[in-house]
Structure 1
């Protein structure tokens, strides 16, 4: 809902929707008014929470969540890993 009022957020949400809807037969005018509905907001929050609370399992593939860079572009966490170098994550500062 806030995306409509925050341009950077709106661009991100609309770009995600365009990528999803590319494979459908619908024109943008057919679906763009559904982006900020309660049902869409609920689905978006549910998907984001799933990503946040996903757990790593021993001897299984590591979770590869989204990383939003300062320029608002999106990449995947494991794109930062390099061979023979541990990937260290810092989720905030210690004071």
Structure 2
């Protein structure tokens, strides 16, 4: 029961952000489609042989998949543990040379800033 209430509260808090993002996707689709139609109409010559102007649905951004991705992204952003202006999360990391787990902030020395470098392995 508590989990269902927590989930419902989360949905209510995310709903305004999600709706704003969905409206922005819809407006972007509308503007892109309008631009394509106007460009096609400008290129079109008044000939009975010309096919009607048609915009494909395959390149639209306002789809169920994109809305799911927006919802998931908003949820991840809302639930993240690191926030601007707040204390950094003190998660566990593995020290390679010692092969042991420590907390990130245990690696700080004095008042020097701690810099984490997540390099590439490619």
Select the structure that is richer in helix. 2
Q: Which of these two proteins has the greater Rg computed from alpha carbons?
A: 2
TM over 0.5: no
Q: TM-score range by the shorter chain?
A: 0.3 to 0.5
Structure 1 length normalisation: TM-score? 0.36
Q: TM-score, normalised by structure 2?
A: 0.29
